Structures are given as C-alpha cells and as structure tokens.
C-alpha cells in the first residue's frame, strides 16, 4: 500500500462482504476517474499495528471518506473502529463523509436492527474482545457512530439509478467530485469546547424544516463567532444543493464595489460558474434572486454590521428554496428586525478549564501548563475572561518566556492591555452609532460595572445622557449585560478596552484624562495638584493602594524629616517607611498638625478647585479638610464610604446630586436645617451605626429611595418620610 501520494478518497468497507464485487468496482472507478484512493483492508485479521497507523494517517489526509455499508460491515470490529476514526476527523471540520448503503436500510444502521442488530448482539456478548469496561465503552462508541453516520443521509442503492450498480457508481463519482472540488474552510487548530457549543446549531440545521430559517450568531469581537460559523459550514455544506460562505463582510464592504464583489462570489459558489461582471448592487441582487429559486442552499454571512450589507446579500431571502438555511455572524444582535423570522445564538465564553487548555496550547504546545507555570497560567486565563482571541494572543506572546516575564506581563495587563487584543475589540467601539453611545459606554466601563441599572440610569440621565436607549444599544452590541439582580455586567476585556481608550487621552498625564477610575492615578493627580477641568469622574479608594504607592508618589526623605510625625519609622530611608496600621484611612495632600498622633493622611479640598466638570465622585476611606466653597458645584453622584464626620459640612455642594451613598459613615446627624435638593432620588446611609436622627426631608420632593439599613442607633425618623 503506497502512501507517497496524498490520498483524496478513503474507501471503507468489509472485504469479506463486498471486497470482490461492489467495493472493488467502486475502487477501480475512483482510481480510473483520477482520484488518489486509499482503501481499507476491511479485516482485523490482516490489520497489524503498522497497517492501522497508515490507515489512520490516510483517513486524516483524505478529502472525503466513502463508507460502504453492507449487512456484514458491522460484523467487523476493524470496520467499526475505522468508522469511529472517520467521524473523529469529520468533527475536526477537515473532512467530508459519504455513506453508501449497499442493500442496507439506513434506518437499520441508525437503530441497529435486523442483521446489523444481530451482529451487535454478538459484539456485546464478546465485550468487543476487551475487558468488560473497555468492551462496553467500545461497543457504545460504535453504536453512537452508526447513528451519527446514518443521520448524514448518504446514498442508497435501492433508491437511486433503479438499483443498477454501474449507474449508482457513476453517481457516487459525481458526488465525490463535487465534495473534492469544494475546498474546506481552514480553521485554526485547538478548537477547545466547540463540540458542545455546536450541538444546538447542528440540530437546527438538521431539523427537517421546509421553512427558510435564519440564525444570528452574536457576541463580542474575538469570542469565536467566525470560527464557529466555519466549523458548522464545514460539517454541513455538503448536505445542501449549494452553499456559500461570504467572509469579512464588514471589512470587504468598505472597499470600492465591495458588496458587488461579495455578490459575485455568492453567484460563483451557487451556480459554479466564472464570476460574472456586474456593475451595481441592484444588478447583483437581481442575479442572486434568479440563482436561488430551485436550490436548497446554505449561506453564511460573516461579520455583518449594518442593514445595507444584509439588504445587498440577503435581499433574495423571500425567494430561497424551502429548507434553505442562513447563518449571520455579527456583534449587533438587533441587526435583523423583530419581524424577520430568525433565531439568536449568543456565543458563550470559554470556562476556566477550557481557557487554561487553549492558553497552554499556544504558550507551551501541550494541553496543560508546564510545571511551575500553573499559577501564572490561571491568572492569565482569568484576566482573559474566556475570550479565545485574548488567550491565543497572550499565549503566543508568552511562549518560551521565563516565569519572571510572565509575572511582569500579568502586572502590566492590570494597567495596559495588550495592543493586539485592543485593536480587535476597538472595532466594536468604533461601530457604535454616535459619540453619545461611545461616551455612555466609557462612563459605564469606568464607574458603573457591578452597579444597579436603575441607579446608573438615574445618575446618567442628569449627566445629559439618554441612558435607557443608550444602554439598550450597548446591550444589542454585546458591550454590556444586565444580570438577574438588575446589575450591569461587562466582559473584563471589553471593560479594559474602554478604560484604555480613556487612558490614551493622556498616557503620561492622568490629570488630563476625562475619567480617573484607578486609585493610584487619582492619588498621583491629587497629591501633585495636577487635576484639570477635563475630569468628569474620579474614584479614590485608599484601601486599593499599596504602601509603596503612597511613599513613592508623595514624599521625599526630607518631607518625612520635616513633619517628624510619630506614625513613620526609619525616616532616613523612605522606601522602607511603614505605617502602624495595615489599612490607610486618608489621602494626603499634607500631614495635618492636628493629626500628628495618628496615621491619618488628610486631603485639602482646594485640590478639587480645577475640577468644575466633575459629575461622579467616589470616595472610600478619604478625609477632606478645608473650605468646600471651591468644591465642584455640579456633582450628580457622591459615594463616600467611611465618612469620618459627625455631620455633613454646611458648605458642601449637595444641591445638584441625584444619588448620595454614605455607607458606613460616622454621621450622628446628616445635616443642619432644611436642605432643598430637588434632584435627589436615592439616599443610602446603610451601616451608619452612629446615626441618631434624620433631618427634615421636606426639601427633597423627588426622593424615591431612603435606605437606612443597619442604622442601629437611629432613634428619631422625621415624620415627613
């Protein structure tokens, strides 16, 4: 058996049953037609280990496997093992399978009835010639393989060519020629977890419906929509009278006459003729409508992002032949109108085990991390959030690098995402309809992930956003989801992409950015008094900072000597300065003389004087001192956890606030007198254990929620509540 030439066809049959008649004639016809054909010996008695390995290689290399099912095919355990190998190759989306039913009813194969069932009874009694457990597992695989291959359809002698063998063989040659003439779409290796994801789509494709159905595969960029579509196409295109896979439609349609080129490609695929010259989209639509009237087709439209593309390439849908199927991949789940008959498949990210496996293939060339890299691999996998694109890029980037490089890369990714990944994801951002949705997305990415949707809507509506429709647009584009508890959820890589867009506004000077969500950047901007009027929102959380952040950003050795406070040790070496308490409670502008006996670091209010566009402010473990006359007057949201005051300062600008959250505060009284806050909707004082009484709230006409959960010392609630 020569394997010098790469085989095109693999012929599987039972030599004892058909080897001297039908299968032999079919083999000679295939060779005579010019197909490089490798045939099975079909007999376990002749198949040594070396022969079996060569056959396995031949199956993988062949473009199509032809399986001749006869009544005695299943009598051979060799043939059944061969069948399992053939179907394994099919599942890898690389090879076509053509079942031939020679004097056999496909339903008998599917259900293992008649002589086929009798043969299986013998196999089960013999245990597949293995130990009991191994034998049962082997027989179970055979049964599953027979059911799967019978469901493929194939060619039945009794139903074609009036049972004439010679005519039947000629028909088989034409089918083989058709399958080999259609190149299988290339898919990158290591398709982790794709089998379980493709089950529902395969069921939809094989549901036997006479309707013209459309399936929309949607998801964020880089999650694997195109790979899924290619995989499904490779498995199913041969079951249709015609098929076409139109790739990269978003990108290709931007070129001159790009849509016309795609229309020509469709006609070439369906009509199997040279691409016809066309000069307009309208002309192409007319040609496409004529081409699809009498053919049951499979059409895949990959990466569609607007209606014009759909109209040009799917305008003939109403004329498609019954049973035709259309698959559309897109980042916009509402691309098709509600009255268009279609189903939606939302692509799910890889789970943690799948993520580590995919990363390992690209980083180490094996199924799992090498020894010593397990923890770092887990961290990278978690960072990628199950996004195959990110796992592949980072795996390739880190391949061959030592453990220190891995750790340094993980630290860098916390601040600066990988540019290759960002380039892919930013396409989705650029496709948003307008600056309104883009700015809303950036606000959500920086400040509102994990927050209640109603809270975000209340705040952002007062920031001149049309928040309800804006959030819906972002949901449609897979930027954001709403969880069961009405919580806003965003994929980590999408969040990182949004935050990096903000970082790129001023990579070196954080104070010139529109939003500061990272406490270290906020700390540096305030301690160096470099805030500007561009800042719209800021987060300051001292618990998120390390001691080294405070020391390196704030003070020189002379600063420590100058203040001579009791809470610092080893003044001569500021890199080794330590605080007595593990948690640092306040941000410093300077060390207050009145706080010398503690480790509290106090921030002066005048560092906010330049932030007059500030709308969103989140403090955690922060203390301010000074006059609030210079404080931003247009705040919409104030979240100040661990507020260390017994009463809100009388000059604090509360008038424009929509939401106030003062969790775990030390307030005993909220404010003096009556405050008129006409915009305030939500007031949350949860866990303010020192609070004794509430003030007169008559000046809050729009208050919808007053939250006093765990205010355990409260003894007086104002009667107007």
Active site residues per annotation: 82
CA pair distance 677, 695, nearest whole angstrom: 13
- CA pair distance 54, 36, nearest whole angstrom: 15
Q: What does the alpha-carbon distance between residue 519 and residue 516 come to, in Å, rounded to a whole number?
A: 8
Picking from 151, 149, 124, 126, the residue whose alpha carbon sits closest to that of residue 205 is 151
CB-based contact 638:617 (threshold 8 Å): yes
Contact at 8 Å (CB) between 492 and 425? no
Tell me the backbone φ, ψ of residue 609, rounded to 5 degrees: -60, -30
Q: Quick check: 558 and 543 in contact, CB under 8 A?
A: no
Q: 8 Cβ partners below 8 Å, 6+ apart?
A: 35, 36, 37, 62, 63, 64, 180
Half-sphere exposure of 117 (CA within 13 A, CB side): 9
Report d(CA 514, CA 535) in Å as an integer. 4
Six-digit token string for 146: 């027979």
Distance CA 272, CA 290 (A): 14
Asked whether the beta carbons of 692 and 713 are under 8 A apart, the reply is: yes
Is beta strand 481-482 parallel, antiparallel or unpaired with respect to 488-489?
antiparallel
Which string of DSSP letters, residue by residue, matches 529-560? T---TT--EEEEEGGGS-HHHHHHHH--HHHH
SS3 call for 301? strand
Structure tokens at 438: 């883009």
Residue with tokens 């390390």: 546
Short-list 698, 651, 696, 638, CA closest to 670: 696
What number of other Cβ atoms are within 10 A of residue 670's Cβ? Answer: 19
DSSP element (H, E) containing 429: helix 419-430
Report the candidate in 368, 364, 418, 411 with the shortest Cα–Cα distance to residue 389: 418
The residues near 706 (Cβ < 8 Å, ≥ 6 apart) are 683, 685, 697, 721
Identify the bridge partners of residue 597 per DSSP, sorted by sequence position: none
Give the closest residue to 447 by CA, choosing from 485, 415, 495. 495
């Amino acid at each position: 058996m020569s394997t010098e030439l790469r085989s095109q066809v693999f012929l599987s049959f039972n030599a004892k049953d058909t080897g001297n008649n039908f299968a032999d004639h079919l083999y000679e016809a295939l060779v005579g037609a010019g197909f490089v054909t490798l045939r099975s010996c079909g007999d376990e008695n002749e198949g040594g280990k070396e022969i079996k390995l060569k056959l396995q290689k031949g199956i993988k290399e062949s473009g199509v496997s032809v399986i001749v099912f006869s009544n005695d095919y299943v009598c051979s355990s060799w043939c059944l093992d061969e069948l399992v190998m053939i179907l394994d190759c099919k599942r890898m989306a690389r090879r076509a399978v053509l079942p031939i039913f020679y004097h056999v009813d496909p339903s008998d194969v599917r259900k293992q009835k008649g002589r086929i069932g009798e043969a299986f009874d013998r196999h089960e009694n013999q245990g597949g010639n293995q130990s009991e457990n191994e034998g049962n597992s082997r027989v179970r695989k055979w049964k599953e393989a027979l059911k799967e291959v019978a469901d493929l359809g194939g060619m039945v002698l009794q139903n074609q060519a009036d049972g004439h063998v010679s005519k039947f063989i000629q028909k088989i040659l034409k089918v083989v020629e058709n399958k080999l003439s259609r190149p299988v779409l290339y898919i990158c290796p290591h398709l982790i977890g794709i089998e379980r994801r493709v089950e529902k789509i395969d069921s939809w494709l094989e549901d036997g419906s006479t309707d013209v159905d459309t399936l929309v595969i949607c998801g964020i960029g880089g999650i694997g929509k195109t790979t899924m579509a290619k995989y499904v196409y490779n498995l199913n295109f041969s079951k249709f009278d015609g098929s076409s896979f139109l790739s990269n439609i978003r990108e290709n349609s931007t070129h001159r006459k790009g849509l016309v080129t795609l229309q020509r490609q469709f006609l070439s695929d369906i009509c199997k003729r040279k691409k016809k010259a066309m000069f307009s989209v309208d002309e192409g639509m007319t040609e496409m409508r004529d081409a699809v009237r009498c053919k049951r087709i499979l059409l895949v439209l990959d990466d569609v992002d607007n209606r014009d593309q759909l109209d040009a390439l799917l305008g003939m849908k109403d004329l498609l032949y019954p049973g035709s199927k259309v698959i559309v991949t897109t980042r916009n789940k509402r691309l098709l109108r509600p009255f268009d008959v279609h189903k939606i498949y939302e692509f799910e990210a890889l789970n943690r085990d799948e993520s580590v496996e995919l990363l390992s293939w690209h980083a180490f060339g094996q199924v799992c991390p090498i020894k010593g890299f397990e923890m770092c691999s887990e961290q990278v996998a978690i960072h990628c959030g199950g996004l195959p694109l990110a796992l592949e890029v980072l795996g390739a980037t880190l391949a061959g690098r030592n453990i220190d490089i891995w750790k340094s890369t993980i630290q860098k990714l916390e601040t600066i995402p990988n540019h290759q990944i960002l380039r892919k994801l930013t396409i989705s951002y650029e496709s948003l309809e307008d600056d309104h949705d883009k700015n809303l997305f950036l606000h959500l990415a920086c400040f509102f992930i994990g927050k209640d949707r109603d809270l975000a809507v209340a705040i952002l509506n007062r920031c001149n956003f049309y928040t309800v429709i804006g959030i819906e647009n972002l949901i449609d584009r897979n930027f954001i989801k709403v969880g069961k508890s009405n919580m806003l959820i965003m994929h980590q890589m999408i969040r990182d992409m949004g935050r990096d867009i903000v970082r790129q506004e001023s990579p070196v000077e954080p104070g010139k950015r529109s939003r500061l969500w990272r406490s270290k950047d906020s700390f540096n901007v305030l301690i160096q008094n470099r805030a500007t009027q561009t800042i719209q929102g800021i987060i300051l959380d001292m618990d998120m900072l390390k001691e080294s952040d405070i020391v390196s950003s704030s003070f020189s050795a002379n600063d420590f000597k100058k203040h001579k406070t009791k809470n610092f040790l080893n003044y001569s070496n500021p890199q080794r300065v330590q605080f007595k308490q593990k948690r640092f409670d306040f941000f410093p502008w300077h060390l207050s003389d009145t706080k010398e006996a503690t480790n509290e670091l106090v921030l002066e209010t005048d560092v906010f004087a330049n932030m007059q566009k500030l709308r969103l402010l989140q403090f955690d473990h922060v203390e301010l001192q000074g006059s609030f006359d210079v404080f931003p007057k247009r705040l919409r949201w104030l979240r100040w956890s661990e507020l260390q005051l017994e009463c809100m300062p009388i000059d604090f600008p509360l008038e424009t606030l929509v939401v106030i959250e003062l969790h775990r505060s030390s307030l005993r009284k909220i404010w003096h007198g009556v405050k008129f806050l006409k915009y305030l909707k939500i007031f949350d004082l949860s866990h303010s254990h020192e609070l004794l009484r509430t003030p007169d709230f008559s000046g809050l006409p729009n208050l919808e929620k007053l939250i006093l959960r765990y205010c355990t010392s409260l003894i007086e609630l104002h009667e107007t509540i």
